[in-house]
Chain A
Amino acid sequence: MAGAPQTLFDKVWRSHEVSPESADRPAVLYVDLHLIHEVTSPQAFAVLRERGLNVRRPERTLATMDHSTPTLTAQVFGGAPIALDAARRQVRELEANCAAFGVELLGLTHSDRGIVHIIGPELGLTQPGKTIVCGDSHTSTHGALGALAFGIGTTEVGHVLATQCLLQRKPRTLAVNLSGELRAGVTAKDLILAVIGRLGVSGGTGHVIEYRGDTIRALDMDERMTVCNMSIEAGARAGMIAPDETTYRYLEGRPRAPRGEAWERALEAWRALPTDALARFDREVELDAAAVEPMITYGTNPGMAIPIGGAIPQRSGDAAFTQALAYMGLAPGEPIRDQPVNVVFLGSCTNARLSDLRSAARLLRGRRIAPGLRMLVVPGSQQVKRQAEAEGLDRVFLEAGAEWRESGCSMCLGMNGDVVGRGEYAVSTSNRNFEGRQGSGARTLLASPLTAAACAVRGRVTDPRELM
């Protein structure tokens, strides 16, 4: 197409404008894929019922359940009731809503069920150039495949159900340019924690991030998803990565990816998506990825991260900082290394794909977790679970003394029965270390699967390179 050079974001945005924005009206943006789950959809379906509306394009909508669902096999498959009454009601309500409105549901016992942001790419539904929304802020994950994907509220879930569209102002663009090779023991999780540390937890507000550079090109798809997943932790609603051969290899042959001639046509369209050479971003930030160390958080937002060998910063006169450290029971100026750990959680839409489990299992093989420590391993989807079991990873975790669960959001957000106790320290591969996120009074240290495994073995905050 002739005209001004465009970014990846511009191309996806423009091709989905039902009507462009004007001074007094936002754009009407068409949504290709709407993912729904049990927690943020009931009130949206209620609005459809109150107003006598249908789901406009049920075939563009896919439902699953992940947030409030149990991860104990007996409660998922064994006929034991879901322990939490409210969760049971949400599960039943989603089943009823999907049946009534003709929406496909990958329900509690479905073999393709999983965390909504893990199954979209896994099924091949997440594709370059698509617009994807879900009532969940980590929808940004899907941007790893070159989609424009962002979280929405429940009222907007209702808008998309009823009209397949959203009213949106066009966000600004932010290029995060990453160069250099990641060192041994440094993962995509460490990279994104370093990026958030650099941008700050609101540095991306109002922007869509495009992650660029040779570091990104060298990442596999699982790693790219980890990076895009945490865009929202820098305040950006979406993070995107231009599709390339890595993306196409990942997608080809997946059950819901195009096939045959349709695949060839799709490929041709996808190859036109990457940002044009002379396109301009509203902002650009550079980061030397080769200098990134294994990272860990010490505070109560994901921007409060330091290299694992570093000391907790000192900031006198900052009330929020002081409150965060008081909550965490940590002292400024002290090293984070050797901090005792009670719980290790390996899971979530950030880090529960097969490669995450492999990375932790490699370190745990032939080792035991520290006495008294609890380690919960929760695969991101039932498919990931089956693949891991086929490779014997479940044995590695079980023999190390960890628990092996059914897929779900689990301990990431403490609303499904999997919680960290009051005052306990959890090294978690999830995305948020907010106060109480993993349970009232729980203290979360975010880290990579590799670091989490090392911490599990020692029972203390440990640099994974010491055990590699």
Chain B
Amino acid sequence: MPLEPFTVLTSRTVVLPGANIDTDQIIPARFLTTTTRAGLGRHLFADWRYRPDGTARSDFVLNRPEAHGCRILVAGRNFGCGSSREHAPWALADYGFRAVISTELADIFSSNCLKNGLLPVTVDEPTSAWLIEHPGAQVTLDVHACTLTLPHGAAVPFPLEAFARHCLLRGLDELDYLLERRNEIETFERRA
């Protein structure tokens, strides 16, 4: 399915500074009994956002008024570790996030983000430390240039796999590319 092209994103940030925030925190397993992708945003960080009785915890960052409208999540090291559940990026995207920034992102999570128009951005320690110390900072992510521009104007490069970048910029679905490889796949199958 074609996605919206992702070129430039400017937004304030929300910060979750802890290291090793796993996919069970992003979306607990009890919400994985759904058979669709839709509507998972309301379960994002469910056990941190809500008390056992379902009321919102006012001290959790996503429940504070300044988090409203923020599309970039800044997180501590190794965000998205654990399960392969794509429900994690589905929940983040459904909530409204378009990018996640950390010093390190888990492999499967990162790959899942790219399939859902959610930009996984890894930056160096000083940049991460600055972002964590400045929640709500307005930053710009440029997919074409692969840069993160901080409010004071410094542009920090981030790595982005070339094909993933190509797909994001044009809103392409990787499945179309794979389907176009049919002859090569048939040749491989005959050879194997």
Contacts and interface: CB of A to CB of B under 8 A. Distances in A.
B103 to A, nearest CB: 10
B17 interface: yes
A319 B1 contact: no
Interface of B: 1, 17-20, 22, 24-25, 28-30, 32-37, 47, 52, 76-78, 81-86, 89, 104, 106-108, 111-112, 115-116, 161-163, 166, 174-175, 177-179, 181-182, 184-185, 188-189, 192
Interface of A: 18-19, 23-26, 28, 30, 39-40, 42-43, 46-47, 50-51, 53, 56, 67-68, 84, 86-87, 89-90, 93, 135-137, 139, 151-156, 158-159, 162-165, 167, 169, 171, 201-202, 205-206, 232, 235, 237, 301, 319-320, 323, 413-415, 422, 432, 434-437, 440-441
A237 B107 contact: yes
Given A30-B192, A90-B33, A440-B52, 13 more contacts: A28-B181, A50-B1, A90-B35, A137-B83, A153-B85, A155-B116, A155-B175, A159-B178, A201-B20, A202-B77, A319-B17, A414-B28, A441-B47
B159 to A, nearest CB: 11
B180 to A, nearest CB: 10
Contact of B181 (A18, A237, A436): A18
A415 B29 contact: yes
A89 to B, nearest CB: 6
A166 to B, nearest CB: 8
Residue among B111, B189, B192 with max Cβ neighbours from chain A (10 Å): B111
A186 B181 CA distance: 49
Contacts of A441: 47, 52
Given A414-B29, A436-B28, A159 B175 contact: yes
Given A320-B18, A437-B29, A24 B181 contact: no
A159 B131 CA distance: 36
A440 B48 CA distance: 10
Contacts of A24: 162-163, 166
Nearest to A299: B20
5 contacts: A24-B162, A87-B33, A205-B106, A301-B81, A415-B33
Given A163-B181, A201-B81, A158 B20 contact: no
Given A153-B84, A202-B106, A301-B20, A435 B185 contact: no
A156 B185 contact: no
A413 B32 CA distance: 11
Contacts of B37: 43
A351 B85 CA distance: 21
A38 to B, nearest CB: 9
A70 to B, nearest CB: 12
Contacts of B78: 201-202, 205, 235
The 10 closest A-B pairs by CB, nearest first: A86-B33, A42-B35, A153-B112, A153-B86, A151-B84, A155-B115, A415-B29, A202-B78, A137-B84, A434-B24
Given A414-B29, A415-B30, A434-B25, A40 B85 contact: yes
A169 B174 CA distance: 14
A26 B112 CA distance: 15
Given A26-B163, A43-B37, A137 B116 contact: no
A53 B25 CA distance: 34
Contacts of A26: 161, 163
Contacts of B22: 301, 432, 434
Contacts of A159: 174-175, 178
Given A153-B112, A237-B108, A320-B18, A202 B181 contact: no
A53 B176 CA distance: 12
Given A28-B178, A323-B18, A436 B84 contact: no
A19 B191 CA distance: 13
A239 B184 CA distance: 29
Contacts of B161: 26, 169
